[in-house]
C-alpha cells in the first residue's frame, strides 16, 4: 500500500463523513421533535410493572402524564416512597407521604363455612361462574373460590387457602387494586394498612337467608353496634359496617361478642 | 304456503312431543308466593304495600320507577308476610314481596268484566298495558309499553307476532295459540291498532302445523294479519332472525328492530295484552311448559307469578332422580337454577328438568378450528375466536371483532365438537366489554 | 426475465430472513402484531432499495476508481447509518404513531444486518445498477413477506397454550425453522 | 375442591352449567377416529402394493406418534389425550406419505419431530400452525433427501420387472418425459409413497369425509380445481413440456394432500372465503413448484406454505357481521 | 473495595448467563444462526466478536464524552467498522479457510446488535475498566453459546464435533441440521432449554 492510497482513503472518508454529518445536523435541526429528557429518568424510577393501577396504560404513559402535569407521583400506588420522592424531585414537586394501602378479602366463606349449593360445571373462573348460576357455593355475595384475584395479582401477593379462600400477603401487597377489579363479587377492598378491624362479610340478605348459606355471615343482629354504643359499628341494610372515622384507636373490640365471628382483626397492629 | 327462513342456524332435536298435545292446565293456588320487585329489564319497582297488609290478586304491590320499568302485582289473595331480600332465579337475591295465601278461594278478575277495546284511545291502551305490568314474555322481559311507543324518528310499518318457539322442549306459545286462538288474534289487533301499522304477520315454525292452520283460520277474515310459515330452525325466534325471515330486512348491527320499522312481540305477550285491555286482568300469571326427562309428568301450566319452583315441580309429580339439572327457559338459552326455592317470574317460559346431571360435564377439548361454529352463527360472528379472546382477557380485540353482537343463542356451543363453553366465554367477554365502555 | 429472476431469488428462494438469517432482530422484535410488522417491512424495503442505489453508486463511482475497495465496510455503514437516521428523524416528525410502533427498532434498522448484508452481497454478486436496485427491492419484499407471515402466526399463537419455556423467542425461532422448511420447497425455482 | 356435603336446604344437589343444555353429540374423538377410518382404504391399498414392510412403517409411525404425545403430556403435567385419535392420524398420515423403503429410524425421527415440534411446541392439539405430519415429512425430506426419494416398485411391478428401485410418475415425467397410464395412476400400481398411489381408495375415503362434513369441501375442490385449470393452461401452451391436467391430479400425493392434509381443520382457514383462498393458493404453489421448481412433487410444500399464511387468511376473511356496515 | 470487586464480577458474569446476549437478549442472532453449522465456525466467529467488542468498547468508553449526541451512532459504527475490518483482513490473511466459511458474516459483525447495543447501553456511559469487563463477559457468553450451538448442529448434521468424527459409521447424518431450518430449530430449542433452566433456578426473564 502506497502513501497515495492512504491519502485517498483519508480524503474519501473525510469528504463522505463531512457530507453526511452536515446533512444530518441540518436534518436534526429541521426535523427535531422535542422530547422531555425527564421522561426517561422517570420511567427508570417507576416500578416498571405496567400494572395500570395509576390509571394510565403503563409506566411509560404514566411518566408522560407526570411530566405534563396530568398525574401526581402519588397516583402510582406501587412505587416505594424513596422513588416517589425522587420523581417529585425531578418534577420539582413536594411529595406528600401517603399511607400504604393493602387489599383485604371481606369474606370468610370458604368451603368449611359456606354451604354448597350445587354442582357447577362451567368455566372455572369467578367471573364466568358469577355470570352463570353463581358458582357452586350458596352465598350470592361471598367468595366463589376460583381465584380470579390470584391470577390478577402482578405481585404474587394473594394465595388460595386450603379451603378455597384467597389470603392476602400483607407484606407483598402493594395496593395496586388489580384484585379488587378482578373480583366479580366486590369482596376485596383496599384499606390503609393501619386498619385492622373488619367485618368480613358482604351479605346484605335478610338474616335468615344469610345464616342459611354461611356460618360466618353477618346476621345483622346489632350486637356490635350496641357494644360500641354506635361509635364504631353500624348496621346498614342487613350488614354491619365499621365506621373508621369514628373508630377510636383503642376500641373495645366486639370480636368475641359477634355471634357468627364475622368481625375479625386482620394483620398485626403496628405493621407498616 | 312458502316457507321462509334466515341463513345459518341449527336444527336441534325438538322433544316437543312431551307436552305439545297437553292443553294448558291451571296450577292450584299455592300457599305462598315470592314476588320479586325486579322481573323486567330496567329499574326495579318500588314496593307500595306494607308488611302485614292484606292484598288481593291483581292489586299493584310495586310501582314503576322510571321510563324503562314496570308495575308488579300481587298474584294471589293473601297477606304480605315480609318484604325483604330473597333468592331470584337470575342469581343475586333481590327485594321480594312474600305473600301468604288467605283461606278463602282466589277469585280472579273474571270474564264478566269484558269490555270492548275498540273505543279506547291509543294512549289509554298503552297506559293500561303499562299499569298491568306487561313485559316481553318470551324471556327478554323488556317492558312492552315502551316498545309500543317508538320514538318519532323511527316510523313503524310492520308488526310481527313471534310464534316460532324455536327452543326445543318448550310448547307454551304453541298451546296458547291452540287454546286461546281468538284472544291471541285479538291481542295482535290491539297491538297493530296501537302501533298504527297496516300490516301484521304471525310467524309460526312449520313444526306446528295445527297452530298454523288454526291461526290462519282465525285470521282469514282480517286482511291486515297474515300467518306465515317459517322453517323449523333455531334460532328462528330471535328477533333479528325473524325479521330477516319474514320481511328480509336486516337489523343493523347494534340496532333494534325499530330501526327497520318493525316491532316484534311474543304470543304470550299478545295474550297478556288482550287479557289486560279486555278482561282487565294484569299480568299475574303466565303459561309455563314444565318438561324434560327429569320430571314425572310434563305439563303446560298456567302459574301465578311468584310460585316457588318446588311447588310447581311437586304438582308435576316431582323429579325423577337425583342428578337433575333444572333449567329456567329453554335448553338453548335457559339458565340453570341452583335452588328450587326460587320463584317463577314473568320471564319464565319453561321449567326444564334434565336427568343425569353428571353427564353434563363433558370433556372439553382444545378448539380444532373445524369452523362449525362459524357455519352456524346466525350473526356471522367467529364464536371460537371471540371465546378465546375473552378467555385470554383481550377485551379490546373482542370488541373489535363484534362480541357485543352475539345474541347468545348457543348455536355455536351446540355444534362444537370440542365442547367448549363458547357462550359462557362470550358472555364474560360481553360483560367485560360493557364494563370497560362505562 | 433476468430481473424477474433476481427479484424472485431475493424474495423467496434465498429469502433474506429464512436462508441468510439477515434482519433477525426486527424479525423477532417487531413481529408480534400485524400493523407494526407491515410498517417495519415497508420501512426496511424502502431503506433497502435506497441503500442498494446509494451504495452501488459509491462503490462503483468512488471506491473502485480510487482502488479503495477495502473501505467498503466503513463507507457502506456510514452511508447506511446516515440514511437510516434521516429516515428516523423524518418518521418521527411526520407520524408519531408510526414512530411509537417501530419504537427502538428504527435506530436498529441501522444495525439491521439485512441492509449492510444487502450491500455486501450486491457487490459480491457484481450486479449492474438496475439489477442492484431490483435486488434490494426483492430482498425487502422477501423480508416483508417473512415478517408479515410471522406476525400472523404470532398473533394466533398469542391465544395458544405454548409451553412456558418456549413462549416468546423460543417458539418464534421454531416457527421460523418450520417456515424455512416450507420455503425449501422453492429450491430450484431459478 | 368442594367437599361432598349434604345440604340441609336442598335434598337434591342440582347442577349448574352454562347454556346451551343440549348438544349435537359431535366430539373431537369422533371426528378424529372417523378420519382414521376413512384413511383405511388408502392404507390397505398401500400395504397391498408395497407389502408387509409398508405395514411396519405405518405401525412404527403410529406407535411413535402416540408414545411421543403421551410422554410430552406427561412431562407437561397435562391430561393424556392420546385416545382422541389425533396423534394416530398424524402417525398414519405421515407414514402414508413416506416411501416404503424408508429406514425405521427415519420414520421415528420424522414422527417425533412432527408431534414434538410441529404440534406440542405450539401447545398441542388445536394450536399447531403447521400440519404435524407434513412438518415431520418436510423435516425428513431436508434431513435425508436421498432416502426420501428412493422408491421401490410395487409387488405387482416386481413380478414383471426385476428392479430394486423405480421412479414416481411425476419424477418420470419431469426428468425423462415418460407418462404413466391413467389406469395405473387410478389403481395405484406405480412407485410412490405408501398411501398416495391409489387414487380411487383416497377419493373413496375423502368423499365419505366430505359427506360427513368432517372436511370442508371447498378446500379439495378449489385445490384440485386450481391445479387442473393452471395445469391445463400450461399443457395447452406446450404439451411436450408440461403434463396434462388429469395427470397432475392423479399423479403424486395430490389426492391424499387435497382430501386429508389440506383439509386438516386445525391448520386450514375456518371461514368459507378463507377455504377458497387456501385451496387456490395451494394449487397455484403446487403448479409453480411442480413445473418450475427443482422437485418433481410440491404437495407437501404447497400445503405447509399455505398453513403458514392461514392465520393471515383467517384475519382478513372475517365474515361480515349481520347488519354490519363497512 | 469488595463491593467494587463484586460489581465488576457481576458485570462479567451477567453476560455469561443472566444477560446472555443470544439466549436471553436475543441479540446477534444473524451470525449465531448463520455460522454455527460447525463448532469451529462458531468458535471463530466468537473470537472475532471478542476482539471487536472489547476493542471498540474500550475506544468508545474513552471518547464517550467528546462525541455529540446526534452523531453518536454513526461514530460508534465507524469505530466498530474499523475494528471489524481489521479482524476480517486478519482472518483472511492467516486463516483463509475459516474466512471463506464465515463469508460475509465477519464484515456483518459491524451491524451485530450485540456490539452496537453494548456501546449504546454500556460503554458510552461507563468508565473504561467496567466497559472492558462488560465487553469481555458479553462476548465470551456469545462465544460459548455459538460454540455449543455449533457442536450440537455439527454432531447431528455431520456426525462430528470440531471435525472429529463422533458418531458411528452407520449414522445417517441429519442434513437439515446444517441447513437454515436446522439453525432456527436448534436455537429455538436452546432458548427453550435456557428458559426452562432459568425457571427452575427462579430467574425471571
Chain C residues in contact with D142 by the CB 8 A cut-off are 181, 184
Q: Using the beta-carbon criterion (under 8 Å), do D142 and E172 form an inter-chain contact?
A: no
Residues A153, A223: one domain?
A: yes
- Identify whether residues D81 and D171 lie together within a single domain: no
**Residues D242, D295 within the same domain:** yes
**Is position B312 within any domain?**
yes
A235 and A135 in a common domain: yes
Query: Distance between the two ends of chain B, CA-based, in angstroms?
Result: 48
Domain of B187, CATH number, reads 3.40.50.11540
pLDDT at B110 over 60: no
In this structure, the answer to whether residues D88 and D178 fall within a common structural domain is no
Highest mean predicted confidence (pLDDT) among A49-53, A252-256, C21-25, E131-135: E131-135
Coil/strand/helix, residue C115: helix
Same domain, D202 and D283: yes
- Note whether B196 and B297 are same-domain residues: yes
Considering the domain architecture, whether residues B271 and B377 belong to the same structural domain is answered as no
Number of H helices, E strands in chain D: 14, 1
Q: Please give the share of chain C, as a percent, with pLDDT higher than 90.
A: 16
B53 is a domain residue: no
Whether residue A254 sits in one domain with residue A196: yes
How wide is the angle at C-alpha A264 spanned by C-alphas A261 and A265, nearest 5°? 155
- Does A210 share its domain with A246? yes
Are B278 and B182 in the same domain?
Answer: yes
Distance, CA of C190 to CA of B16 (rounded, Å): 67
Shared-domain flag, residues A192 and A250: yes
- SS3 (DSSP) at D305: helix
Residues B208-224 have pLDDT tens digits of 999 999 999 999 888 88
Q: At what angle do helices C169-183 and D132-143 cross, to 10 degrees?
A: 70
Contacts of B395 (CB under 8 A, 6+ apart): B389, B429, B432, B433, B436
Check whether residue A193 and residue A69 sit in a common domain. Answer: no
CB-based contacts of B189, cutoff 8 Å, min separation 6: B222, B225
Contact E172 D139 (CB under 8 A): no
Q: Are residues B318 and B424 in the same domain?
A: no
Residue A17 lies in a domain: no
Q: CA nearest D136: which of D96, D190, D83?
A: D96
Q: How far is D274 from chain C (nearest CA, A)?
A: 14
Instruction: Examine the domain organization and report whether D140 and D198 are in the same domain.
Output: no
Q: Is the pLDDT of residue B169 over 60?
A: yes
The alpha carbon of A216 is separated from its chain's Cα centroid by a whole number of angstroms, namely 26
Q: What is the pLDDT of residues B35-66, one digit of tens each?
A: 999 888 888 899 999 888 888 888 899 998 88
DSSP A172-231: T-----HHHHH-TT--EEEEETT--EEE-----S-HHHHHHHBTT------HHHHHTTTS
Out of B97-101, C144-148, D322-326, which region has the weakest mean confidence (pLDDT)? Answer: D322-326
Judging contact as 3 or more Cβ pairs under 8 Å, the answer for B and A is: yes
Within a domain: B432: yes
pLDDT of residue C30: 78
Q: Residue A232: pLDDT above 80?
A: no
pLDDT cut 70: percent of chain B above it: 95
Residue of chain B with shortest Cα separation from D86: B368
Residues D123 and D181 in one domain: no
DSSP three-state, residue B324: strand
The residue to which cell 452523531 is assigned: E71
Predicted local distance difference test score (pLDDT) of residue C99: 72
Do the Cβ atoms of B212 and B234 come closer than 8 Å? Answer: no
CB contact under 8 A, A140 and B91: yes
Q: What is the mean pLDDT of residues D86-107?
A: 93
Residue where one domain finishes, among candidates D99, D114, D148: D148
Task: Name the minimum distance, in Å, from the CA of B98 to any CA of chain D.
Answer: 19
Residue where one domain finishes, among candidates A27, A62, A91: A91
| Domain extent at residue D122 | 29-148
Q: D142 CA to chain E: closest CA distance, Å? A: 5
Q: Which chains touch B (3 or more CB pairs under 8 A)?
A: A, C, D
pLDDT confidence bin for D5, thresholds 50/70/90: very low
Total tally of structural domains belonging to chain A: 2
Mean pLDDT for the stretch of residues D118-129: 91
Listed as ranges, residues in chain C with pLDDT below 70 are 1, 98, 100-112, 190
Q: How far is E194 from chain A (nearest CA, A)?
A: 23
- Binding-site residues on chain A for chain D (CB distance < 8 A): 111, 115-123, 128, 132-138, 145, 164, 212
Say if A211 falls within a structural domain.
yes
Together in a domain, D97 and D194 = no
Which residue, E64, E102, E65, is CA-closest to E84? E102
Which residue segment(s) compose the domain that B392 sits in?
A: 372-437
Q: Are residues B335 and B382 in the same domain?
A: no
Rounded to 5 degrees, what are φ and ψ at B281? -115, 110
In a domain, A19, yes or no: no
Same domain assignment for residues A125 and A149: yes
Distance CA A102, CA A168 (A): 8
> What's the number of domains chain B is made of?
2
Judged by a CB distance cut-off of 8 A, whether residue C172 touches chain E is: yes
Q: Quick: pLDDT tens for A110-155.
A: 888 888 878 888 888 898 888 887 788 888 888 988 989 998 888 8
Domain around A126? 101-265
Please list, in sequence order, all residues whose beta carbon lies within 8 angstroms of the beta carbon of residue E177, skipping any fewer than 6 positions away: D143, E152, E153, E156, E157, E186
Do residues A67 and A167 both lie within one domain?
no
User: Are both A119 and A239 inside the same structural domain?
Assistant: yes
Helices marked H in B152-266? 172-179, 181-195, 209-219, 239-247
List the 54-93 stretch of C: residues with Cβ below 8 A of E. 70, 73-74, 77-78, 81-82, 85
Q: Please report where in the chains the cell 388429469 appears, as a residue.
A: D246
CB contact under 8 A, D270 and B362: no
| Whether residue B331 is found in the same domain as residue B248 | yes
Q: Same structural domain for residues D115 and D217? A: no
Residues B137 and B214 reside in one and the same domain? yes
Q: Do D143 and D175 belong together in one domain?
A: no
Residue of B nearest to D8 (CA): B339
In a domain, B405, yes or no: yes
Task: State the average pLDDT over residues E121-145.
Answer: 87
- Are B351 and B376 within one domain? no
CA-nearest of D97, D80, D78, D79 to D39 is D97
Asked if D305's CB is within 8 angstroms of C183's CB, the reply is: yes
Contact criterion met (CB below 8 Å) for D123 and D73: no
Contact B98, B83 (CB under 8 A): yes
Instruction: Give the residue, D220 or B254, on which the prediction is more confident.
Output: D220
CATH number of the domain encompassing residue A113: 3.30.70.20
- A87 with A119, same domain? no
In whole angstroms, what is the distance from residue D239 CA to residue A79 CA?
76
State which residue of chain C sits closest to A60, comparing Cα positions. C100
Q: Which chains touch E (3 or more CB pairs under 8 A)?
A: A, C, D
- pLDDT category of residue A50 using cuts at 50, 70 and 90: low
B140, B239: one domain: yes
CA dihedral D257, D263, D269, D273 (to 10 degrees): 90
**Stretch E90-105: mean pLDDT, rounded?**
85
| Least confident stretch, C177-186, E105-114, E163-172 | E105-114
Question: D203: which DSSP letter?
Answer: H
What is the CATH number for A63? 1.10.15.40
Tell me whether residues B84 and A206 touch, CB distance under 8 A: yes
Which residues of chain B make contact with A131, given a CB cutoff of 8 A? 424, 427-428, 431
Sole residue written with cell 448434521: E157
**Is residue D188 domain-shared with residue D274, that is, in the same domain?**
yes
pLDDT of residue D3 exceeding 50: no
Q: Which residue has the higher pLDDT, D278 or A220?
A: D278
Q: Are residues A181 and A251 in the same domain?
A: yes
Does A60 or B160 have the greater pLDDT score? B160
A87 in the same domain as A123: no
Q: Is residue D217 part of a domain?
A: yes
Nine-digit cell string for A190: 383496599
The set of cell numbers assigned to E176 is 437439515
- B87 close to A (CB below 8 A): yes
Residue D326, in any domain of the structure? no
Q: Name chain E contacts of C18, Cβ cutoff 8 Å.
A: 180, 184
How many distinct structural domains can be found in chain D?
Answer: 2
Amino acid at each position: 500500500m502506497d502513501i497515495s492510497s492512504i491519502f485517498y482513503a483519508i480524503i474519501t472518508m473525510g469528504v463522505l463523513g463531512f457530507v453526511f454529518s452536515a446533512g444530518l445536523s441540518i436534518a436534526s435541526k429541521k426535523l427535531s421533535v422535542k422530547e422531555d429528557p425527564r421522561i426517561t429518568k422517570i420511567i427508570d424510577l417507576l416500578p416498571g410493572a405496567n400494572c395500570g393501577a395509576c390509571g394510565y396504560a403503563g409506566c411509560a404513559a404514566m411518566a408522560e402524564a407526570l411530566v405534563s402535569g396530568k398525574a401526581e407521583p402519588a397516583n402510582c400506588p406501587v412505587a416505594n416512597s424513596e422513588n416517589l420522592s425522587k420523581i417529585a424531585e425531578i418534577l420539582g414537586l413536594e411529595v406528600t407521604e401517603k399511607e400504604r394501602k393493602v387489599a383485604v378479602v371481606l369474606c370468610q366463606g370458604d368451603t368449611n363455612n359456606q354451604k354448597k349449593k350445587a354442582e357447577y360445571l362451567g368455566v372455572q373462573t369467578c367471573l364466568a361462574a358469577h355470570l352463570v348460576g353463581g358458582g357452586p357455593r350458596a352465598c350470592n355475595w361471598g367468595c366463589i373460590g376460583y381465584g380470579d384475584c390470584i391470577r390478577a395479582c402482578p405481585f404474587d401477593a394473594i394465595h388460595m387457602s386450603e379451603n378455597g379462600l384467597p389470603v392476602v400477603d400483607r407484606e407483598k401487597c402493594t395496593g395496586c387494586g388489580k384484585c379488587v377489579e378482578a373480583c366479580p363479587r366486590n369482596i376485596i377492598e383496599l384499606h390503609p394498612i393501619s386498619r385492622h378491624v373488619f367485618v368480613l362479610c358482604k351479605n346484605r340478605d335478610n338474616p335468615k337467608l344469610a345464616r342459611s348459606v354461611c356460618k360466618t355471615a353477618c346476621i345483622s343482629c346489632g350486637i356490635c353496634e350496641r357494644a360500641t354504643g354506635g361509635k364504631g359499628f353500624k348496621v346498614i341494610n342487613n350488614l354491619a359496617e365499621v365506621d373508621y372515622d369514628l373508630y377510636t384507636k383503642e376500641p373495645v373490640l366486639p370480636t368475641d361478642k359477634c355471634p357468627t365471628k364475622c368481625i375479625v382483626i386482620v394483620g398485626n397492629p403496628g405493621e407498616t | 304456503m312458502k316457507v321462509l327462513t334466515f341463513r345459518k342456524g341449527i336444527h336441534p332435536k325438538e322433544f316437543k312431543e312431551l307436552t305439545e298435545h297437553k292443553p294448558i292446565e291451571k296450577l292450584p293456588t299455592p300457599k305462598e308466593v315470592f314476588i320479586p320487585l325486579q322481573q323486567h329489564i330496567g329499574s326495579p319497582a318500588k314496593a307500595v304495600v306494607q308488611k302485614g297488609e292484606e292484598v288481593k290478586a291483581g292489586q299493584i304491590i310495586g310501582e314503576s320507577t322510571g321510563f324503562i320499568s314496570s308495575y308488579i302485582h300481587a298474584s294471589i289473595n293473601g297477606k304480605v308476610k315480609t318484604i325483604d331480600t330473597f333468592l331470584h332465579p337470575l342469581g343475586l337475591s333481590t327485594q321480594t314481596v312474600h305473600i301468604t295465601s288467605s283461606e278463602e278461594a282466589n277469585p280472579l278478575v273474571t270474564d264478566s268484566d269484558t269490555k270492548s277495546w275498540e273505543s279506547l284511545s291509543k294512549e289509554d291502551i298503552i297506559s293500561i298495558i303499562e299499569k298491568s305490568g306487561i313485559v316481553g314474555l318470551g324471556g327478554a322481559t323488556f317492558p312492552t309499553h315502551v316498545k309500543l311507543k317508538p320514538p318519532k324518528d323511527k316510523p313503524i310499518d310492520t308488526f310481527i307476532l313471534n310464534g316460532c318457539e324455536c327452543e326445543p322442549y318448550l310448547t307454551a306459545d304453541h298451546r296458547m295459540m291452540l287454546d286461546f286462538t281468538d284472544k291471541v288474534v285479538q291481542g295482535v289487533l290491539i297491538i297493530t291498532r296501537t302501533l298504527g301499522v297496516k300490516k301484521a304477520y304471525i310467524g309460526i315454525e312449520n313444526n306446528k302445523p295445527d297452530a298454523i292452520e288454526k291461526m290462519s283460520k282465525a285470521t282469514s277474515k282480517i286482511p291486515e294479519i297474515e300467518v306465515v310459515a317459517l322453517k323449523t330452525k333455531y334460532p328462528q325466534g330471535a328477533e333479528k332472525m325473524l325479521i330477516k325471515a319474514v320481511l328480509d330486512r336486516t337489523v343493523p348491527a347494534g340496532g333494534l328492530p325499530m330501526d327497520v320499522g318493525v316491532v316484534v312481540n311474543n304470543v304470550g305477550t299478545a295474550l297478556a295484552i288482550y287479557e289486560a285491555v279486555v278482561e282487565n286482568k294484569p299480568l299475574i300469571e303466565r303459561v309455563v311448559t314444565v318438561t324434560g326427562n327429569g320430571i314425572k309428568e310434563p305439563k303446560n301450566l298456567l302459574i301465578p307469578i311468584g310460585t316457588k319452583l318446588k311447588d310447581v315441580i311437586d304438582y308435576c309429580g316431582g323429579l325423577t332422580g337425583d342428578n337433575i339439572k333444572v333449567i329456567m327457559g329453554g335448553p338453548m338459552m335457559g339458565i340453570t337454577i341452583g335452588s328450587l326455592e326460587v320463584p317463577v317470574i314473568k320471564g319464565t317460559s319453561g321449567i326444564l328438568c334434565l336427568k343425569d346431571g353428571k353427564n353434563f360435564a363433558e370433556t372439553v377439548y382444545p378448539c380444532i378450528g373445524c369452523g362449525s361454529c362459524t357455519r352456524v352463527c346466525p350473526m356471522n360472528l367467529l364464536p371460537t375466536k371471540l371465546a378465546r379472546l375473552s378467555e385470554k382477557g383481550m377485551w379490546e380485540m373482542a370488541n373489535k371483532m363484534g362480541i357485543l353482537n352475539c345474541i347468545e343463542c348457543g348455536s355455536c356451543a351446540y355444534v362444537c365438537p370440542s365442547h367448549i363453553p363458547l357462550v359462557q366465554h362470550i358472555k364474560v367477554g360481553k360483560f367485560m366489554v360493557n364494563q370497560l365502555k362505562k | 426475465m433476468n430481473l424477474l429472476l433476481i427479484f424472485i431469488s431475493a424474495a423467496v428462494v434465498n429469502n433474506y430472513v429464512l436462508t441468510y438469517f439477515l434482519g433477525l432482530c426486527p424479525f423477532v422484535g417487531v413481529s408480534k402484531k400485524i400493523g407494526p410488522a407491515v410498517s417495519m417491512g415497508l420501512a426496511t424495503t424502502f431503506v433497502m432499495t435506497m441503500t442498494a442505489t446509494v451504495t452501488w453508486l459509491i462503490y462503483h463511482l468512488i471506491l473502485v476508481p480510487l482502488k479503495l475497495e477495502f473501505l467498503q465496510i466503513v463507507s457502506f455503514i456510514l452511508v447506511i447509518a446516515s440514511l437510516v437516521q434521516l429516515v428516523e428523524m423524518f418518521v418521527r416528525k411526520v407520524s408519531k404513531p408510526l414512530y411509537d410502533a417501530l419504537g427502538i427498532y428504527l435506530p436498529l434498522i441501522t444495525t439491521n444486518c439485512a441492509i449492510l448484508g444487502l450491500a455486501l452481497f450486491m457487490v459480491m454478486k457484481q450486479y449492474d445498477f438496475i439489477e442492484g436496485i431490483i435486488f434490494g427491492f426483492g430482498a425487502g419484499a422477501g423480508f416483508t413477506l417473512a415478517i408479515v407471515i410471522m406476525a400472523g402466526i404470532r398473533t394466533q399463537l398469542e391465544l395458544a397454550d405454548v409451553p412456558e419455556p418456549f413462549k416468546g423467542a423460543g417458539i418464534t425461532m421454531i416457527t421460523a425453522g418450520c417456515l424455512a422448511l416450507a420455503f425449501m420447497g422453492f429450491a430450484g425455482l431459478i | 375442591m368442594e367437599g361432598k356435603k349434604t345440604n340441609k336446604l336442598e335434598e337434591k344437589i342440582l347442577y349448574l352449567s352454562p347454556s346451551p343444555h343440549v348438544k349435537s353429540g359431535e366430539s373431537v374423538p369422533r371426528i378424529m377416529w372417523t378420519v382414521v377410518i376413512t384413511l383405511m382404504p388408502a392404507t390397505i391399498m398401500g400395504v397391498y402394493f408395497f407389502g408387509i414392510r409398508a405395514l411396519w412403517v405405518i405401525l412404527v409411525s403410529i406407535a411413535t406418534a402416540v408414545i411421543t404425545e403421551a410422554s410430552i403430556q406427561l412431562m407437561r403435567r397435562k391430561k393424556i389425550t392420546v385416545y382422541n385419535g389425533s396423534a394416530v392420524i398424524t402417525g398414519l398420515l405421515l407414514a402414508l406419505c413416506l416411501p416404503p423403503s424408508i429406514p425405521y429410524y427415519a420414520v421415528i425421527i420424522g414422527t417425533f419431530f412432527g408431534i414434538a415440534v410441529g404440534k406440542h411446541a405450539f401447545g398441542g392439539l388445536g394450536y399447531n400452525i403447521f400440519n404435524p405430519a407434513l412438518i415431520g415429512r418436510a423435516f425428513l425430506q431436508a434431513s435425508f433427501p436421498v432416502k426420501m426419494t428412493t422408491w421401490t416398485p410395487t409387488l405387482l411391478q416386481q413380478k414383471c420387472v426385476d428392479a430394486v428401485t423405480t421412479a414416481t410418475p411425476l419424477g418420470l415425467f419431469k426428468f425423462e418425459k415418460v407418462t404413466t397410464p391413467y389406469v395405473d395412476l387410478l389403481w395405484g400400481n406405480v412407485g410412490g409413497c405408501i398411501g398416495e398411489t391409489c387414487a380411487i381408495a383416497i377419493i373413496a375415503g375423502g368423499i365419505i369425509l366430505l359427506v360427513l362434513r368432517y372436511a370442508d369441501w371447498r378446500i379439495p375442490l378449489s385445490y384440485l380445481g386450481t391445479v387442473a385449470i393452471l395445469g391445463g393452461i400450461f399443457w395447452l401452451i406446450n404439451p411436450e413440456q408440461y403434463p396434462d391436467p388429469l395427470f397432475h391430479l392423479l399423479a403424486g400425493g395430490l389426492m391424499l394432500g387435497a382430501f386429508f392434509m389440506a383439509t386438516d381443520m386445525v391448520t386450514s382457514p375456518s371461514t368459507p372465503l378463507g377455504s377458497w383462498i387456501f385451496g387456490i393458493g395451494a394449487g397455484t404453489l403446487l403448479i409453480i413448484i411442480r413445473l418450475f421448481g427443482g422437485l418433481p412433487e410440491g404437495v407437501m410444500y404447497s400445503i405447509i406454505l399455505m398453513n403458514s399464511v392461514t392465520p393471515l387468511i383467517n384475519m382478513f376473511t372475517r365474515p361480515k357481521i349481520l347488519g354490519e356496515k363497512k | 473495595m469488595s463491593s467494587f470487586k463484586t460489581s465488576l464480577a457481576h458485570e462479567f458474569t451477567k453476560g455469561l448467563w443472566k444477560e446472555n446476549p443470544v439466549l436471553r437478549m436475543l441479540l446477534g442472532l444473524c451470525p449465531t444462526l448463520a455460522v454455527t453449522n460447525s463448532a469451529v465456525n462458531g468458535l471463530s466467529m466468537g473470537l472475532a466478536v471478542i476482539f471487536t467488542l472489547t476493542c471498540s468498547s474500550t475506544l468508545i468508553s474513552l471518547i464517550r464524552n467528546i462525541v455529540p449526541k446526534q452523531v453518536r451512532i454513526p461514530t460508534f459504527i465507524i469505530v466498530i467498522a474499523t475494528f471489524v475490518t481489521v479482524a476480517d483482513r486478519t482472518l483472511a490473511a492467516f486463516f483463509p479457510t475459516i474466512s471463506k466459511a464465515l463469508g460475509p458474516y465477519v464484515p456483518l459483525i459491524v451491524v451485530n446488535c450485540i456490539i452496537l447495543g453494548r456501546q449504546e447501553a454500556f460503554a458510552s456511559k461507563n468508565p473504561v475498566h467496567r466497559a472492558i469487563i462488560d465487553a469481555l463477559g458479553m462476548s465470551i457468553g456469545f462465544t460459548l453459546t455459538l460454540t455449543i450451538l455449533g457442536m450440537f448442529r455439527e454432531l447431528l448434521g455431520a456426525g462430528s464435533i470440531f471435525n472429529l468424527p463422533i458418531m458411528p459409521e452407520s449414522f445417517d447424518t441429519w442434513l437439515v441440521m446444517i441447513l437454515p431450518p436446522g439453525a432456527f430449530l436448534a436455537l429455538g430449542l436452546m432458548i427453550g432449554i435456557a428458559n426452562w433452566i432459568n425457571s427452575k433456578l427462579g430467574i425471571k426473564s
